[in-house]
Structure 1
Amino acid sequence: MPHAAKAQLASGPTVDLTYEKIRLLGKGGWATVSEIRILDIAMTDGVAYNLNIQTGTTLALKRHHESPKFVYREPEVHALVSHPNIVEFLGYWVEQEKCTSEDGEAAVSTYHNILLSCYPLVLSELPLPIALQSALSYVRQILQALAYLHSPEISIFHRDVQITNILVDPSSGIVKLCDMGAAKKYVPGKWAAGTIGMSENRPLEISLQSNHYDFCVDIWPVGLILLHLLTGHHPFRRKETDMQQLIEIASRLGRPTAEEISEANGTIPSNTLSWEALPPPDVDPVQARTMRLEVNLL
């Protein structure tokens, strides 16, 4: 069934779009991502532009349900960035739909729609594990995207790096970082949300519910992605609480020192962590801290 929208394209003009949905690509708590095909595109101001979207183009449409609990920044973050390893932002529009609230009253829901370039696969959909050379190539590109975001000129941290937020074209070997829904400008010393991303991907700072962290929170999950690609499974099991997730990490890598916990600047005090309940780690804690895979990723 055709759908119509008035979209503000990233290249400047406002256009009337007609599109059809091909298939659902992904679904999260607040958003869905669909593959769509552009059926028609027309200028609203009558001016001719050199458009990067044409009739018949296949794109990805992310539809985000607005929540009063979160500040929605994704379009403005996308508008600030342009990198070969970050999914391309093509356009944006807002829709409002009538609905019924939980108490049965008439209400209006707001949806933010983002047009993005479409890639064949999510990295987790590849047959895993993969060869070391391919894994390092993918991780190198992820780090290049993050180095760009973390640069002084851009100064954005993604805060939700995970294997399901990496798109890949197996034929070219190119990967793209996507889902900028949790991304924001990094301001040193400024408060930031302490619960971001899936629990099994959170670095120590986030699991400890720190509200003051930096770009390092984007690096820990890259290591998890590398391990996932090489072993075929995530190194940690998902737990329901941050406390349980910390115990899960420590059970594999050994207990963090008091200094490491202090440096993470979290709000969970170290003396409340039930280290005594830990089983023996998979490797000796000292060995776990000294083991290194020394590769030149960049």
Structure 2
Amino acid sequence: MEKYVKIKKLGEGSYGIVYEALNKLTGEVVAIKKLKTKCTSKEECKNQIEVKALQKIKHPNIVKLKEINGENGNVFLVFECMECSLYDRLNNIRMVSFSESEIKNLCFQLFQGLAHMHGNGYFHRDLKPDNLLLSKDHGIIKIADLGQARETDGEPPYTDYVTTRCYRAPEVFLHSSVYDPAVDMWAMGAIMAELFIHRPLFRGDSGGEVLYKICSVIGSPTESKWSEGLQLARNMNYRFPDHPGMPLASLLPSASSEALCLIATLLSWNPCLRPTATEALEHPFFDDVTPPIHVNKDLPWKRALLKPARSSKI
């Protein structure tokens, strides 16, 4: 790591600390992530889930891993450096709001990256504006931070402590022991909505508070909508509040009918009713988007059956 000099700390998460750094030999500015997990061998380093995933799912809309370095048991991942995160852009009061054309372009790119990721056997589990990186002109967006990624054919049980609450899918709140890439699609629905209103749609300080907010927006689940979810709730002695929901158009007044339709389907209680990333790319909302689609349709991910999990409070 001698060839790199740190410029500044960019951020810190559950799995590592990220620094902006300069390659003294080439003059290139990069982002270096120091993993919190120690490794005793090169093979152990390569078996880190984030490393395995990034080496397999190379795509224009997934941040590029340039190098893997080990030093004194520490693992350093060297990435291309992007200008800022979507979170930075959303919270910059000097920036004007996103136009629907911009939202369409950004979401199209994200669904391309997710279609490639899911098709190649991984799902992210931690999609949020902080982990979506923008280029200098804000025209290119890339998915980053795969520290919580999981293989789609991985063995259960799955952890229920994934992603920030306001982007966390209901089945995760309800401690489902098995879930699938549909959790990423729920997160995308929440992110799309946030792009229109510049604030989280489901903000809350606890799981129960977020579930209450979800019910107040999309209406409480019923047996016909999501019987598996109601069973999960009964298993943990949780009772959904009784809410009819409200029209999304009243919350996202600047969104077109096509945008509202896509967001509504992404925010379906039942994971099986959410579109896949490839299906989302084919939604009428994207009819006038022209960039090429980087999707391998021969590698579909298989939806897992939701199974009841342990009893627990939210």
* TM class, shorter-length: 0.7 to 0.9
The Cα shift of 1:260 comes to: 4.2
Task: Quote the residue 2:86 is aligned against.
Answer: 123
Task: Quote the residue 2:286 is aligned against.
Answer: 296
Distance of 2:79 and 2:150 partners within structure 1: 19
Distance of 1:161 and 1:92 partners within structure 2: 23
Which one has the largest radius of gyration? Answer: 1
Distance of 2:224 and 2:97 partners within structure 1: 35
Work out whether residues 60 and 116 of structure 1, in 8 Å CA contact, stay in contact via their aligned partners in 2: yes
The Cα shift of 1:270 comes to: 6.7
Task: Quote the residue 1:26 is aligned against.
Answer: 11
Task: Quote the residue 1:73 is aligned against.
Answer: 49
**Aligned pairs for 1:25-104 within 5 A:** 25-40=10-25, 55-66=26-37, 72-96=48-72
The CA deviation string for residues 57-98 of structure 1, in whole angstroms up to 9 with x for no partner, is 110001121289xx94111111111100000011112344xx
* Structure having the larger proportion of residues in helix: 2
1:246–1:261 distance in 2 versus 1, CA, 3 Å: farther
More RCO (CA 8 Å, sep 6+): 2
Work out whether residues 119 and 168 of structure 1, in 8 Å CA contact, stay in contact via their aligned partners in 2: yes
Identity %: 25
Distance of 1:135 and 1:216 partners within structure 2: 21
1:123–1:193 distance in 2 versus 1, CA, 3 Å: same
Work out whether residues 82 and 136 of structure 2, in 8 Å CA contact, stay in contact via their aligned partners in 1: no
The CA deviation string for residues 221-264 of structure 1, in whole angstroms up to 9 with x for no partner, is 11111111111111011323x33322221122221113444334
**Aligned pairs for 1:219-234 within 5 A:** 219-234=185-200
Work out whether residues 94 and 113 of structure 1, in 8 Å CA contact, stay in contact via their aligned partners in 2: yes
Q: What amino acid does structure 2 have at the position aligned with 1:239?
A: D
Distance of 2:231 and 2:49 partners within structure 1: 25
Work out whether residues 221 and 230 of structure 2, in 8 Å CA contact, stay in contact via their aligned partners in 1: no
Instruction: Structure 2: state its 5+ residue gaps.
Output: 40-46, 90-94, 252-256, 263-283, 290-314
**Aligned pairs for 1:139-150 within 5 A:** 139-150=107-118
Distance of 2:15 and 2:155 partners within structure 1: 29
Q: The residue matched to 1:295 in structure 2 has which SS?
A: helix
Q: What amino acid does structure 1 have at the position aligned with 2:88?
A: E
* Structure having the larger proportion of residues in strand: 1
The Cα shift of 1:164 comes to: 1.1
Distance of 1:67 and 1:273 partners within structure 2: 39
RMSD, matched Cα: 3.0
Distance of 1:261 and 1:133 partners within structure 2: 33
The CA deviation string for residues 81-139 of structure 1, in whole angstroms up to 9 with x for no partner, is 1100000011112344xxxxxxxxxxxxx532110000011012223631000011000
The Cα shift of 1:184 comes to: 2.0
Work out whether residues 60 and 115 of structure 1, in 8 Å CA contact, stay in contact via their aligned partners in 2: yes
Task: Quote the residue 1:14 is aligned against.
Answer: none
Q: What amino acid does structure 2 have at the position aligned with 1:90?
A: K
Distance of 2:187 and 2:158 partners within structure 1: 18
Number of residue equivalences = 247
Task: Quote the residue 1:254 is aligned against.
Answer: 219
Q: What amino acid does structure 1 have at the position aligned with 2:28?
A: T
1:176–1:222 distance in 2 versus 1, CA, 3 Å: same
Instruction: Structure 1: state its 5+ residue gaps.
Output: 6-16, 41-54, 97-109
Task: Quote the residue 1:245 is aligned against.
Answer: 210
**Aligned pairs for 1:158-173 within 5 A:** 158-171=124-137, 173=139
